[in-house]
Amino acid sequence: MLTALKSLFGRNRKDDADHSPFVRELRAIVGAQHVLTDPSRTLPFRRGFRFGLGKALAVVHPGSLVEQWRVVQACIKADKIVLMQAANTGITGGSTPDGNDYDRDIVIISGMRLKKIFVIGGGKQVICLPGATLDQLERTLAPLGREPHSVIGSSCIGAAVFGGVSNNSGGALVQRGPAFTQMSIFAQADAQGTLHLVNHLGVELGTGPEEILGALDRGQVPESRINWHAGKGHDDNYATHVRDVDADTPARYNADPARLFEGAGCAGRMALFAVRLDTFPAERNPSVFYIGTNNPDELEEIRRHILTSFSELPIAGEYIHRDAFDIAEEYGKDTFLIIRAIGTRRLPMLFALKNRIDRLTERVPFLPGNMSDRLLQAFSRLFPRHLPRRMYEYRDRFEHHLMLKVSAHLASEARTFLDGFCAKSGTRYFACTPDEGARAFLHRFAAAGAAIRYRSTHHRTVEDIVALDVALRRNDRQWSETLPSDLDRRLIVKLYYGHFLCHVMHQDYIVRKGNPCPPIEAEMLALLDRRGARYPAEHNYGHLYAAPPSLQAHYRELDPCNCFNPGIGKTTKRRNWKAESVA
């Protein structure tokens, strides 16, 4: 017990698991305290937020871009696999090892010490380094009356800007589409294993890699050296694209070739050092309408009218099913309360504390697993109901819930439409107060982690979670899923929520104990294939989905030696893309 306590609370303790020349080289580059090899200390970086777990030789925390370059150089020279990791909040295991069947040692390079953000063009654009978080970016831009691509959703759990760009994360804001940029600095290894730094940031920073990265480390980005026509900083065609409700293709999905460009959608197949992104004018005094119905067809009619007839697009349109409402209300309550109390800025610190508690309790034989989840769940039960009364009333009356957020000058148009629509249908709505609107959206985003909590606290009855991230066709009127009875009886509960106006749905299936998940997932995906849906929609392939041939070709072009994050999209984990079946 004493040993476990020392391991839990000790800081900067020297790891003794590996004293190889390679690990000593890493320590010489970044400092011994920033290279972890003890498995108990590397676990939070080796285990995904939802899925993924495997061995790693070391976890390295560079303190500058030059240090990151030198670490990547050392790894490639020593024939190590490089996993670039930001906040590790992804849900498909895409930034952690997946099992222990790799043919080389893995080094995880965490960028979370590199949190700098440089505001350029009076706040119209930003340059972000690897550890910059969405919450940090939002706070940086707020005094300028600007906001980033995503301001709700992933920002609630401390996600990093790089994660969104690398994974084509879509976010909830309808006008902006997936996170996208054509401007970045990155390193690639060629087929011979030689590392190259590429500066497509559109900023003159020097010539050699260390000169370029050193200048950026120091924030030397004078506007006289910026090319304002270097490329796109967001998907500026998405607002038109999403309005085409009769198109037979999804609005957005991860394998869309139109939204794959170098670092954008790279899925860790290169080492990103900086990205340059557009920002947007902040909406002032938006209105939120809470809509309830028992008829999914009516919700689809609302979607189609909004996208084709409104004078401008809403800010967001978020859907949640009654069952997901209930699970989030009980198992996402602590997340809701913590964010309401302290915001998102301190969430990474709380996640780190949670991981430490789990590391300690996992070493004590008589304590149950997932102790931190159990404690947080017990903590949440001490508090009264946390949602507005009118939301609970709609939960009792309606199966389907839509939260529509619009700008102040679109509010009257939205209200007029909803009044007319509700007068001739079974749908109803209420206009939220600012507090009700904030609580409604936070509740919707607490649903994303609620399934994980349910699994942790019901391990005796839950086999696991099948989590799907689905892009429906824009013209698909039958968006609400009905599963075959044989499949449905193997599930405890189905959680449906998502970005409804974009037809992007998150579908979490909590599987009953004794039912293997892979066959269930295969059946689910076959059903989606028959519907013409694409998956994943915005969380990238990770180790859960098989990448189609076109995307595999894209990965091979980015990473011909298969040195960066091999195995993503269920591709081969072996050097130089050698087939797994080849001896």
Are residues 384 and 255 in contact, defined by beta-carbon separation less than 8 angstroms?
no
What confidence tier does 487 reach under pLDDT thresholds 50, 70, 90? very high
Nearest C-alpha neighbor of 142 from the set 283, 277, 349, 275: 283
CATH of domain 287-531: 3.30.70.610
**Residues facing residue 109 across a β-bridge:** 60, 84
Q: What's the pLDDT at 537?
A: 93
CA atoms within 13 A on the CB side of 74: 23
Please state the rounded mean pLDDT for residues 130-142. 92
Name the residue ranges covered by the structural domains of the chain.
122-281, 287-531
Q: Give every CB contact of residue 515 below 8 A, 6+ residues apart in sequence.
A: 463, 490
The number of helices, as runs of H, and strands, as runs of E, in the chain is 19, 18
Please state the rounded mean pLDDT for residues 168-192. 90
Assess whether pLDDT exceeds 60 at residue 154.
no
Assess whether pLDDT exceeds 90 at residue 441.
yes
Q: Against a cut of 0.75, is the pTM above it?
A: yes
Annotated binding site for FAD: 86-90, 94-95, 153, 170, 267, 272
Least reliable range by pLDDT among 105-114, 154-163, 416-425: 154-163
Q: What whole-number distance in Å separates Cα of residue 278 and Cα of residue 234?
A: 6
Please state the rounded mean pLDDT for residues 427-446. 95
What confidence tier does 152 reach under pLDDT thresholds 50, 70, 90? low
Q: What's the pLDDT at 18?
A: 56
Q: What's the pLDDT at 3?
A: 45
Least reliable range by pLDDT among 12-16, 189-193, 212-216: 12-16
Place of tokens 């003890």: 38
Neighbouring CB atoms inside 10 A of 261's CB total 17
Q: What's the pLDDT at 155?
A: 47
Please state the rounded mean pLDDT for residues 179-207. 95
Q: What's the pLDDT at 8?
A: 41
Q: What's the pLDDT at 159?
A: 82
* 537-577 pLDDT tens trace: 988 899 989 999 999 999 999 999 999 999 999 999 999 99
* 42-97 pLDDT tens trace: 998 998 877 789 999 999 999 999 999 999 999 999 999 999 999 888 778 889 99
* 223-264 pLDDT tens trace: 999 999 999 999 999 999 999 999 999 999 999 999 999 999
Percent of the chain with pLDDT over 70: 93
Q: What whole-number distance in Å separates Cα of residue 193 and Cα of residue 133?
A: 31
Annotated binding site: 86-90, 94-95, 153, 170, 267, 272
Higher pLDDT, 233 or 367: 233
Fold assignment, 122-281: 3.30.465
Alpha-helix runs per DSSP H in 362-500:
371-380, 389-397, 411-423, 434-457, 485-488
Q: What's the pLDDT at 59?
A: 97
* 285-340 pLDDT tens trace: 999 999 999 999 999 999 999 999 999 999 999 999 999 999 999 999 998 998 88
Peptide bond into 536 cis (omega under 30): yes
